[in-house]
Structure 1
Amino acid sequence: MQIKSQKIISGILVIIGLIIIGSIVVWAPVCKGILELKSGNMTHMKCYYTGQASILLSIVLIVAAIESVLTKTKKPWTFIAIGIMLLVVTYGSTIGIGICMKDTMDCHKTAAWIRGGGVVTTICGLISLFMGERRKL
């Protein structure tokens, strides 16, 4: 039962990672705006960098989940899942990289997908962390 539950949780984490990547790239992409700096140079808005960091962390999450299925272990990927998604959840806030200030910008939809995926992943990581074999006395 333990190994079956780990496979289910790993499958959920792979799906969440793909959903986060899909939301950033396909159905809720971040703003395409470019900022002009005082020097005259152009740069992406901070939501672009939030999206890029979230994609990279989602890839790490997917790889860690696949690795846990192949090696039939839950640690350290459990901690990786919790840590990565806590980071991803904070990206849309003032703690992390952040997103655009205007509520009408597209990146707020992306941030909602990222936060939702982060919450589900953190819950899966915590379930996996506390799901252990019962000791026989």
Structure 2
Amino acid sequence: MKLPAHVLFRKDLSLILWKLRGILDEATVNEIVAFTEAVEKRSRKPLNRFYDLSALDAVDLNFDFVFHVALGRRLSAAPRPAVKSAFYVTSPDSTHYVKLHAMLTDYSPLHVALFTDRAAAAKWLGVPLEALS
């Protein structure tokens, strides 16, 4: 499977790292979801995720879209083991939508948390800080 340009897969850590750039829009989120679901189907082992949103120029999403994506992810994750998704946020817009996603996926196998500190995200994910750089 070909990795998208802004993705790093750390098999040794069971971790997918997304280093997003530019504008976070519906097309980008759809790419993330499609890739994630394809990886989940192929992997025998749960894979945690780290999303670095610090280099985004803008967020072009809306409540309706995030709501539908989060509910879809809840349904697709239901039969699978729990995974952690850590979001590193630095802007009010990215914080807003990550909080919404976290709220909508609460009490599901998707454990979503947002961080303003990489070290805290690394600790929560159980990986070395250097792995998130």
Q: Give the TM-score normalised by the residue count of structure 2.
A: 0.28
**Bigger share in strand:** 2
The structure whose residues are more often helix, as a share, is 1
User: TM-score, structure 1 length as denominator?
Assistant: 0.27
Larger radius of gyration: 1
By relative contact order (CA 8 Å, sep 6+), the higher-ranking structure is: 1
